[in-house]
Amino acid sequence: MYCLLRPCLQRCLFILKVKPRYVLLCFGAIVLLDFFGAFTHLFEITYDENFVYPYEGNIQELADALRHNEKPNIEPINEYKYPFLLHNPQKCTEAGYSTFHVVYVVKTALEHFERRAAIRKTWGYEKRFFDVPLRTIFLVGTHPDDEELQAKLKIEATKYKDIVQADFIDSYYNNTIKTMMGFKWVVKYCSNSKFYMFCDDDMYISVKNALRFVRNPAKYPGYFKEPKKLAAHKREISSADLIAFQRDIGNFDNASGRRNATIDKRSSVASFIIDETADNNNSRSNAYKGQDKQVNENFGVESKQLLGSNTSVLSRAKRQLFDFELPDDVRLFSGFVFVSSPHRHKSSKWYVSLKEYPYHLWPPYVTAGAYVLSKEALLDMYYTSFYTKHFRFDDIFLGLVAKKAEIEPFHCEDFHFYKKEYTKYNYKYVIASHGYGDPNELLQVWNEQKALGNA
C-alpha cells in the first residue's frame, strides 16, 4: 500500500513544499493590493469629465426658490432636521449693532470646557475691538447617556450664552451634521454678519490676520507685508486721517464706475482680482491703496484705546473703512484648499468605497480646521446643501456643495491644517493653525503673538 501511495505522497509533499508558497504569495499579494485599494483605483471614474453627484438636476434654481421662500419644483433630498436644544436666538440681535463683521462658529465637543474657556479669552473674545463687532458661538451635539455632562454644559451655556446644541449624537462621523447645523443656526439666527469663520476648538486663530485677510483675500499677506516704513512710525488713526480718507473713498466711488461694473450677483474672489487689476492704472484707485495700507497697519483699534477720543466721528469713518472691503455680494469660501484623491486603503480612517464615491478625485475642498465664508457664499451653500446628498466628511461635503453651487474655493497658505511649528517670529502672517488642543499652550502662544501685534 505504502509503495503504491509513495509517489503520490511525494508529489503531494512536493506540491505542498513549492506551490503553496506561490499560492500563498499570490493570495497574499491580492489581499494586500486589495487592502491598499489597487483594484478599487482601477474602477474609479475620471473626475473631470464625468462628475455628477446627486441631486443631478438644475440645483441653482431649486436652491434659489428655497432661499426666497418659494416652493421648489422638487422636494429637497437632504435635510438636517435636528432640533436645537440650546439655541441662543438673541446672540446676534443685541442692541448696538445691526451687522457683525466676523462670526466665529466653533465646532467643539461637549467635554472640552477648558478649550472653550481659552478661546473666550483669546481669539473668541467678542469685545476685542471697539469698532469691529465680532461674535463667537460654540456648536455641540449630544451624549445621550451622560446627564452629568449635559447638566454641566447647561450651566456653561447659561453663563456665557454662546453655546448652540443640536439633538444629534456628537461623534466624528457626525461632523457633517454638526457643520450643517451650524449653517442652519447662522441662517436662522445670525445672518447679519459679513463673514463667518468656521473653526475647530483646537485651533490657533489670529483675529487681526483673519480681518486683514477678509479685507483683501487675493492680496493677503502681500498687501500689508511690504511697508516697513509704515511700521516704523506706527501711530493711532486720528480723526483727521479718517475724514481725509472718507473724502478719498467718496472720490473713488464717484470716479470709478468700473470698480463695481464687473462684479455681478455671482461675483467670486476671482472676478474681484481681475477687477482690481483692471483698476490698477486708476490714479484714484492707487491713492486709495496707499491709504488702505496705512490704515490697515493701524486698524482694529483696541476698544480701550478709543475711549476718550471722538468716538462718533471715528466709528462712523472707520465703519466706512470696513465697508469698503470686498463687495457685499462676493462669494468667498476660503482656507487651505486641497485637490486630492479618495482614500481607498481599507485601514484608513477616511476609507471610501466606490459605491459611496466613484471618482478618482475629490472636488477641490477646504480643510475643515478653519475656513472663511462670506455671507453670500454661506447662504448659497446652505440652500444648495438641500440638494446635495449627505457625505460623512464635512470638508468633502462642503466641497461637493461648493462645486454644485459653482463656488470655487479660494486657497490661502496661511491657514495651516497641521500645526505650524511655533517660534515667536514665524507666526506673523499665520491666520489659523491646527494643533492647539492644549488650552495653556493656546493662551501662551496667542498672548505672545498679540503682544507682537500678530494676533
Ligand X SMILES: *[C@@H]1O[C@H](CO)[C@@H](O)[C@H](O)[C@H]1NC(C)=O
Amino acid of residue 421: E
- Maximum Cα–Cα distance across the chain: 115
**Residue closer to ligand X, measured from CB, 90 or 281:** 281
Of 14, 27, 43, 173, the one binding ligand X by CB under 6 A? 173
CA distance 212 to 52: 36
DSSP 129: B
CB neighbourhood size of 125 (10 A): 13
Q: Does the footprint of ligand X cover residue 251 (CB under 6 A)?
A: yes
CA distance 186 to 440: 30
Judged by CB under 6 A, the chain residues 269 through 308 that form the site for ligand X are 281
**Residue closer to ligand X, measured from CB, 121 or 266:** 266
Site string for ligand X, 81-120 (x = CB under 6 A): ----------------------------------------
E strand or H helix at 196: strand 193-200
Q: What angle do CA 403, 404, 406 make, to 5 degrees?
A: 65
Q: Does the footprint of ligand X cover residue 10 (CB under 6 A)?
A: no
Minimum CB distance to ligand X, residue 261 (Å):
5
Scanning 10-18, 33-41, 172-180, 181-189 for contacts with ligand X by CB under 6 A, the matching segment is: 172-180
Axis crossing angle, helix 59-67 with helix 394-405, rounded to the nearest 10: 100
Instruction: List, as one string, the DSSP characters of 61-115.
Output: HHHHHHHTTPPPSS--S----PPEEE--TTTT--TT-SSEEEEEEEE--TT-HHH
Site string for ligand X, 199-238 (x = CB under 6 A): ----------------------------------------
Going by DSSP bridges, is the β-strand pair 432-433/204-205 parallel, antiparallel, or unpaired?
antiparallel
Query: Phi and psi of 434, rounded to 5°?
Result: -75, 170
Amino acid of residue 436: Y
For residue 221, say if its preceding peptide bond is cis, omega within 30 degrees of 0.
yes
Q: Name the residue whose CB lies closest to ligand X.
A: 257
Amino acid of residue 128: R
Scanning 104-112, 199-207, 248-256, 318-326 for contacts with ligand X by CB under 6 A, the matching segment is: 248-256
Of 69, 90, 98, 312, the one binding ligand X by CB under 6 A? 312
Scanning 67-75, 165-173, 203-211, 376-384 for contacts with ligand X by CB under 6 A, the matching segment is: 165-173
**Residue closer to ligand X, measured from CB, 262 or 294:** 262
3-state secondary structure at position 220: coil
Minimum CB distance to ligand X, residue 141 (Å):
7
Minimum CB distance to ligand X, residue 374 (Å):
16
C-alpha cell read off for 394: 464635512
Query: Phi and psi of 165, rounded to 5°?
Result: -120, 130
Minimum CB distance to ligand X, residue 416 (Å):
28
Amino acid of residue 399: G
Q: Does the footprint of ligand X cover residue 174 (CB under 6 A)?
A: yes
Q: Does the footprint of ligand X cover residue 350 (CB under 6 A)?
A: no
**Residue closer to ligand X, measured from CB, 46 or 310:** 310
Of 20, 222, 250, 453, the one binding ligand X by CB under 6 A? 250
Q: Does the footprint of ligand X cover residue 261 (CB under 6 A)?
A: yes
CB of 352 within 8 A of CB of 194? no
Of 10, 50, 93, 171, the one binding ligand X by CB under 6 A? 171
Minimum CB distance to ligand X, residue 257 (Å):
3
Contact residues toward ligand X (CB under 6 A) are: 168-169, 171, 173-174, 177, 250-251, 254, 257, 260-261, 281, 310, 312-313
